[in-house]
Structures are given as C-alpha cells and as structure tokens.
Amino acid sequence: MDNQLIKLGLTERNGKAVVSSRDIARVFEKEHKHVMRDVRGIIENDPAWGQSNFGHTPYIEPQNGQTYYEYLVTRDGFTLLVMGYTGEKAMQFKKAYIAAFNEMERKLAPRNYKEALLALVAAEEQREVLEAQNKVLQITAAKYEGQTDTVELYKVGEIAEELGTTAVTLNRFLRDCHVQYKPNGSQTWRLYADYIGHNIALPKLVQLENGYEMPMLLWTAKGRDFIFDLAEREMPRWYA
C-alpha cells in the first residue's frame, strides 16, 4: 500500500492524532453526510465518550467559500466508527489507518513527555519557593514569640495607616505572604495554621458606627510588630 494511503490525512489536535470525517468518507468511498450521521449516532449513545473522541469542527470549502462542518476523529473514535465497514478493501484501509495512528502518536509522545516533564519541574520549583517563603515568615513570627500581649488590639486599617498604605493593600500583602486567608463564603480573615498560637491576632466582634457588630481579625501589639517587620522586609519585593 503506497505512502499516500498510509498518511490518510492524519493531523494533530491538542496533542492527539486525529483524522477528518471527510477523509474517512473519501477513503472508504462513502458519502460524508452518512459518515457524519454515523458519528452523531455514536455521540448520542454515549455523549461524554463521543465528545472526547469526535470534535465537531468548521471548515471552509475552497470551491464556494462556504463554511461546513466535519468531525476530527481520534484513533479510538475511528476504530469504533469503522468497525462495521466490511469487505477486503475496507479491512486493508482499517489496518492502514490504525498503523498510521500508531505511527503519529509514537512521534507525538516524546514531545508530550517533554512538556509534562517541564510542567513537573516548574511545579517543583514553585513548591520550593513557597517553602522558602514560609520558612522566612515562620522565623519572623518566632522572633516575637517571647513578647507579651497587651490588651490593646489593632485593626488592620490602623496598622496600614502607620505604614503609609491602605487596609486593602495590607490585607492582600498578608494574604500573598500566606499569613491570612478568607475561607470560602466568609468575609472574615483568618490566620493560617502556622501562625495560630503565636498570639499575633485573634477574631473579635467589633461594633460598627451603625450599631451592628461585625467579626474582624484584630492584631495584638506583637502582631503589629510582626507586620511592621514583615512589611519592611518583604513588601517592597512583593509590590515593587
């Protein structure tokens, strides 16, 4: 079987070898609308599997410039689609298609493996950066471990004003440094586990000017010093 037949219009889409339903119709000597009908039948029978193996894709017909649709078919989709095609010629074509799929996927595998390996290396580097940042923050918190708390508590806005910034910016900075976070659905900041027990902040009900009470994370004197030290060292780097 010549090389042109072995190629069979295979191409790549999202790292997978695929073939057009138009090429399947051409090679197996069927009308494209009938191949499209068969594909739709498979998708209707198992939508999730069908949609992952048959991509409904527009194409422009060169002869009239109009837009039509085809399916881009994976190897698994092709195997199921042509399973019922019979005859000696059909068997030869099926074998040729499967061989061509195998060859293209063999060529794609090293590239995909390289991409996966690079992604793994990037994730590991990010993890190491976060670990290093957490160690620095824990050392900063430990620096104030021996201090005694005072009865005075500070709102983040008061500390932010002393630092010459806003409460929004300071809250975001403490979040980015993995000191505090907001649980899903909550409007109140909470300390990460690494800082609970260090007596730097505690949740309190704060009475607003309108008389309502609102839960808020307030900072102790030790927590205020902790933020000053952290902001002096880290904030210029984070918000340069």
Over residues 152-181, the mean pLDDT reads 89
- Average pLDDT of the chain to the nearest whole number: 79
Structure tokens at 39: 């594909």
Whether residue 98 sits in one domain with residue 14:
yes
Instruction: Tell which of 117, 136, 152 closes a domain.
Output: 117
Domain that holds residue 187: 144-238
| Rg, Å, the chain Cα set | 31
- In this structure, the answer to whether residues 148 and 47 fall within a common structural domain is no
Of 112 and 192, the structure prediction assigns the larger pLDDT to: 192
Q: Is 45 left (phi over 0), alpha (psi -120 to 50) or beta?
A: alpha
- Domain membership of residue 136 (yes or no) is no
Domain identity same for 167 and 106: no
Query: Considering the chain, what percentage of its residues have pLDDT values greater than 70?
Result: 78
Identify whether 123 is part of a domain.
Answer: no
| Contacting residues for 86 by C-beta, under 8 A, at least 6 apart | none
d(CA 206, CA 214): 5
Tell me, what's the pLDDT at 238? 59
- Is the same domain home to 84 and 163? no
Domain shared by 106 and 160, yes or no: no
Same domain? 106 vs 35: yes
101, part of any domain: yes
Q: How confident is the model at residue 146 (pLDDT cuts 50, 70, 90)?
A: very low
Q: What is the mean pLDDT of residues 7-36?
A: 83
